Structure 1
Amino acid sequence: MPNFFLSSAAGDDDPYVRQFFDDLRGQVSALSSDHGADLSFLGTVGNRDTALPADMLLRLASCDVFVALTSPRYFRNATCGRQWEIFTSRFKAGDDRAAVIPVAWSADAAMPEFLDVPLVVPEGTSRGLRQLVRLRGLRSEYESFLGQLARRVVAAGEAAPAPASEPVTDFARVPNIFSASIVDLRVHIIIAAASRQEMDEVRDDLSYYGAEAGDWAPYRPDVPGSLASRARLLAADQALRGEVAALDDVVDRIERARAAHEIVVILCDWWITQLDAYRHILAEIDRRGLGDTVVLVPASRADRESMDNLAELRFGLRRTFQESWRQAQGRLHSDLSTAEAFDADLAGVLEEARNRLFRSGAEPGENSGPVVERPILRGP
């Protein structure tokens, strides 16, 4: 009995993805006497810091059919690009690739031309599959499409399953096949934090700081790595080239980024506003206007010193960003008390900024880099 791997982008209505996976698995299993669809696998993975499911690579090397829930988010997801690359590299040139089945999860899920695989779109509606799953009024359309897709999975798995291969051992080294269609936009990640030595002037617990501003890790001990590294990886998941910088020449950097239609995010330590030199720099940014620049202010709920002084720290932030606070345009994001909250907030900020650039028709500046083309693995 054929088994399938369902590939989807984390954060793209995950509960409905799970519902669809269960429904499709049930339909495929019902078409078989051995119920082999129970071996099928849901390959939705979270942020870059999340460990891959132990058997995901094994399933990518052994599944018969690859079903992809495509959307703009899907084609910006590096994990999905690597999953697609691993599966399709199992085929030789000229092989029948009916086992690759991309499905329009959203209505705007256009396929990159270089993939040369037809997109499966629910018939008789302009909606994507996601809407069919979500809306009760479209239940009959959903069940009809589900049955058609299940029969297609079974037919492909029986007539032209993907050749088996050895599991990949290093997922991070697999090329993201989607990167060939993505303009490499740059996001400037400004670290508004200080060194351990500087922070010794204003607080007692220095465990969150290092020798340089870029070492700041506000979610220790649960997340020991620096916030700068975490932010850069999250940007990479959205096909954005993260460039980390300290507050040096930040005002000029923001102006250059605006001129080049690039994204700017400031990651700001609550405590930095207690140091006059840094507070003046941030206040100057605020005086000139943040524009599309967004400020994220994380602090772990496990950081007792910060939690105990939150009222004073909040006042310091408000005093520093007076204009932005008064305008209340969603440019200041505070109370990010967990790493997961930070991930979700930053991902949303980056996606909104990226979409804003595309809606405006702005092209990346000359310093943002060319279209990236990476080598494609070939199967055995």
Structure 2
Amino acid sequence: MEREPYFFLSYARRDDRGSAFVGRFYDDLVEELARLGADVSGQQPFLDVERIGLGMDWESTLGSEIGHCRAMVALCSPAYVNSLYCGKEWAAFESRVLKYREQTDIEVPALIPILWVPLHQAMPPEISRYQYFEPAMGQEYLEQGLMGLLRSAPGGRAYRAVLELVAKRVQHVADLFRLPRAQGLDLGTVRSPFEGREPAGPGSRTTGHVRVFIAAGVTDPLPEGRQRREYYGPSPLDWTPYHPPVHPTVAYRAQRVIIDEGCTSTLEVVDGGLGEKLEEAMYNNQTSVLLVDAWAAREGRYRTALSDYDRENHPVTGVLVPCHETDEESGDEKLWADLQQVFRRNWMRRNDPYDPLFQVQVERQRFEDRLARMVVVAQNRLMEKAVPRRLPAGPSAPPMPGLSVPYPPPSRADDPTEPEGPFAPAEGSGQ
């Protein structure tokens, strides 16, 4: 019998590097389908890391699986819509759905988009024309995405509600319909529908790196004057300043924003060597962001390092201080007066719309936008100040031959310095 995968899981590799959330969701979905009575044993669902072995032609394998699967579950995210091969997978499967509609006049909901990580901009129309939200999925799903729910409470009500709805949709289309097969599908000839969102290719823009420094409290002991333990964890990296005080942590939120802006990032905890690290970052043509817990900043562990930062000039470093409006403890005016003493020099430019590198009392709904703008502005300033690093001295180059006629400057249209695209391509589930 010819293979017809019960479903194909399409996702961006960049969303799952260093973690196992995609694999966990795949396993949970297969288990939920079994609970609903679906028999997938004869037509094993497709997940690339399980079905593409060493030495196999991955592009040919992907084409075969997409051309024969019964349903496709797409984990939509900023990385997904910027992935060349995710776009190809989407287009290839959608063509089968459209062909079936032409042949039968039946709309089969076999292309199932899932909000894996929320997008800062509007969902591309190629995706939003398909229903990716139902009221039963809950507001938490829209705010955090399914990966956020899986990260914070993998067995929780919100995650299970979405999982059950997805499984029911997959079972419905896989058991009742058979889309026309696409024999010999060559993904190399398929064009991604996310036109204008795809990276233009290597060399159009160098991906920047952002060093993220966290100055936050822990549960034991809590910052002085703080009573609410649920906002903290055993490490400063576990800090969750927004209500409800659950994951994703502010560090995770920050890294998600930075990825969306086409940059890479690392996480560090603020210590006495902060100033030297910021100088090192700038020397290496990197930008930095300080995420500061107003409660912890008043203590000796961080106060000295942050005050030293305030007295120095760090033009490509941003500071962001989160605060949730319903956290009654953080409404204390003395808390912010103390923070003003820590950042005496920078306090005058707080929340300046024209100089967005010092943002305080940033509410949850504004966190992503404020941080994204901070990263972009810091990167732009870095490009103005970046110093090329010289290679070690070598033998002198031979003299250049002279030109017998003046060489005209390139026209504006031919100017090779004009940017052509945003950043290097992200990987799809097949690459």
Using structure 2 for the length normalisation, give the TM-score.
0.47
> Does 1:51 find its partner at 2:122?
no
Paired residue secondary structure (1:333): strand
> Does 1:292 find its partner at 2:387?
no
- Per the alignment, residue 362 of structure 2 pairs with 336
Asked if structure 2 preserves the Cα contact closer than 8 Å seen for 1:235 and 1:242, the reply is: yes
Match of 1:317 among 321, 339, 357: 339
Match of 2:291 among 261, 267, 284: 267
Identity rate, percent: 21
Per-residue CA shift, 1:4-46, capped at 9, x if unaligned? x9999759xxxxxxxxxxxxxxxx99x9696668867878864
Paired residue secondary structure (1:207): helix
Distance 2:227 2:189 in 1: 62
Residues 91 and 181 of structure 1: is their aligned pair in 2 closer, same or farther, counting only changes over 3 Å? farther
Paired residue secondary structure (1:229): helix
Distance 1:91 1:378 in 2: 18
Asked if structure 2 preserves the Cα contact closer than 8 Å seen for 1:270 and 1:314, the reply is: yes
- Displacement of 1:360 after TM fit? 6.2
- Displacement of 1:111 after TM fit? 2.5
Question: Is the radius of gyration larger for structure 1 or structure 2?
Answer: 2
Paired residue secondary structure (1:290): coil
Asked if structure 2 preserves the Cα contact closer than 8 Å seen for 1:299 and 1:335, the reply is: yes
Alignment of 1:23-172 (within 5 A): 46-47=117-118, 49-51=144-146, 95=186, 99-101=190-192, 104-105=195-196, 111-112=200-201
Paired residue secondary structure (2:230): coil
Distance 1:252 1:303 in 2: 34
- Displacement of 1:282 after TM fit? 0.8
- Per the alignment, residue 306 of structure 2 pairs with 282
Distance 1:192 1:365 in 2: 35
More displaced 10-residue stretch of structure 1: 216-225 or 276-285: 216-225
- Displacement of 1:291 after TM fit? 1.3
Alignment of 1:192-207 (within 5 A): 192-207=215-230
- Per the alignment, residue 411 of structure 2 pairs with none
Paired residue secondary structure (2:329): helix
**1:343 partner amino acid:** E
- Displacement of 1:350 after TM fit? 2.4
Asked if structure 1 preserves the Cα contact closer than 8 Å seen for 2:199 and 2:424, the reply is: no
Residues 245 and 101 of structure 1: is their aligned pair in 2 closer, same or farther, counting only changes over 3 Å? closer
Per-residue CA shift, 1:98-132, capped at 9, x if unaligned? 541456548xx77327xxxxxxxxxxxxxxxxxxx
Asked if structure 2 preserves the Cα contact closer than 8 Å seen for 1:298 and 1:337, the reply is: yes
Asked if structure 2 preserves the Cα contact closer than 8 Å seen for 1:260 and 1:365, the reply is: no
Match of 1:226 among 241, 249, 268: 249
> Does 1:303 find its partner at 2:330?
no
- Per the alignment, residue 257 of structure 1 pairs with 281
- Displacement of 1:292 after TM fit? 1.7
Distance 1:222 1:285 in 2: 29
* Gaps in structure 1 of 5+ consecutive residues: 12-27, 65-89, 114-179
Distance 2:220 2:390 in 1: 37
Distance 1:364 1:313 in 2: 43
Match of 1:216 among 239, 245, 248: 239
Distance 1:292 1:232 in 2: 17
Asked if structure 1 preserves the Cα contact closer than 8 Å seen for 2:216 and 2:297, the reply is: no
- Displacement of 1:348 after TM fit? 2.8
Residues 276 and 97 of structure 1: is their aligned pair in 2 closer, same or farther, counting only changes over 3 Å? closer
Q: Root-mean-square deviation (CA), in Å? A: 5.2
Paired residue secondary structure (1:313): helix
Paired residue secondary structure (1:204): coil
Distance 1:200 1:96 in 2: 55
Give the paired residue count: 266
Residues 239 and 321 of structure 1: is their aligned pair in 2 closer, same or farther, counting only changes over 3 Å? same
- Per the alignment, residue 70 of structure 1 pairs with none
Distance 2:76 2:381 in 1: 24
**2:316 partner amino acid:** D
Paired residue secondary structure (1:51): helix
**2:259 partner amino acid:** A
Paired residue secondary structure (1:228): helix
Distance 2:191 2:229 in 1: 52
Distance 1:221 1:365 in 2: 50
Asked if structure 2 preserves the Cα contact closer than 8 Å seen for 1:287 and 1:323, the reply is: yes
Paired residue secondary structure (1:295): strand
Residues 290 and 315 of structure 1: is their aligned pair in 2 closer, same or farther, counting only changes over 3 Å? farther
Asked if structure 1 preserves the Cα contact closer than 8 Å seen for 2:215 and 2:293, the reply is: yes
Per-residue CA shift, 1:268-308, capped at 9, x if unaligned? 1111233245222211101002312111111223322112x
Asked if structure 1 preserves the Cα contact closer than 8 Å seen for 2:290 and 2:317, the reply is: yes
Asked if structure 2 preserves the Cα contact closer than 8 Å seen for 1:266 and 1:293, the reply is: yes
Distance 1:242 1:9 in 2: 18
Asked if structure 1 preserves the Cα contact closer than 8 Å seen for 2:241 and 2:322, the reply is: yes
- Displacement of 1:258 after TM fit? 0.9
Residues 6 and 102 of structure 1: is their aligned pair in 2 closer, same or farther, counting only changes over 3 Å? farther
Paired residue secondary structure (1:335): strand
* Gaps in structure 2 of 5+ consecutive residues: 1-72, 80-97, 120-143, 148-161, 392-422
- Per the alignment, residue 54 of structure 2 pairs with none
Match of 1:185 among 196, 200, 208: 208
Asked if structure 1 preserves the Cα contact closer than 8 Å seen for 2:208 and 2:264, the reply is: yes
